[in-house]
Amino acid sequence: MKKLIHRAFIYAMAGLAAGVFYREFTKWNGFADRTALAFLHPHLLTLGALLCLVAALFVRQIPLIEQRQFSLFLRLHDIGLPFMAVMLGVRGVLQVQGTALSRGMDAAISGIAGLSHIILGASLVLFFLALRKAAAQAE
């Protein structure tokens, strides 16, 4: 449980830093439109901090930590979410700076972001499978 709370704290700090970066970077560059940076803050807070805190609460009540799917969820989550955050940051910074991307570079950024979303989606499925199995064992 302590490790999950520690992860939640790290994701919360990253989410708060991303929010400050978004506001200051766009203000400094005089950018007023919507950018991918706006999504970085809520993604890190919700999928990072909040999800880890919810998982910590479940670990306290049911044998979730014993589930193989749960350990796999944690590994995939810790790969997918930071990957996704980096790609949102890259896309957002390029949007704010008005950088013209080649079709290949645009596709590469989208492809890597898509892979991170797939990894994160798979981790969420594993989380729910682990929850179901642990809840069934607890009954």
Amino acid 139: pLDDT: 81
Amino acid 79: pLDDT: 96
Q: How far apart are CA 8 and CA 21, in angstroms?
A: 20
Residue 33 makes CB contacts below 8 A (sequence gap 6+) with 95
Phi-psi region of 36 (alpha: psi -120 to 50; beta: other; left: phi over 0): alpha
Asked if residue 89 has pLDDT above 90, the reply is: yes
Q: How far apart are CA 88 and CA 86, in angstroms?
A: 5
Q: For residue range 7-46, what is the model confidence (pLDDT) as tens digits?
A: 999 999 999 999 999 999 999 999 999 899 999 999 999 9
What's the whole-number average pLDDT of the chain?
95
* Chain centroid to CA 46: 8
pTM summary value: 0.90
Q: For residue range 105-127, what is the model confidence (pLDDT) as tens digits?
A: 999 999 999 999 999 999 999 99
Mean pLDDT of 37-56: 96
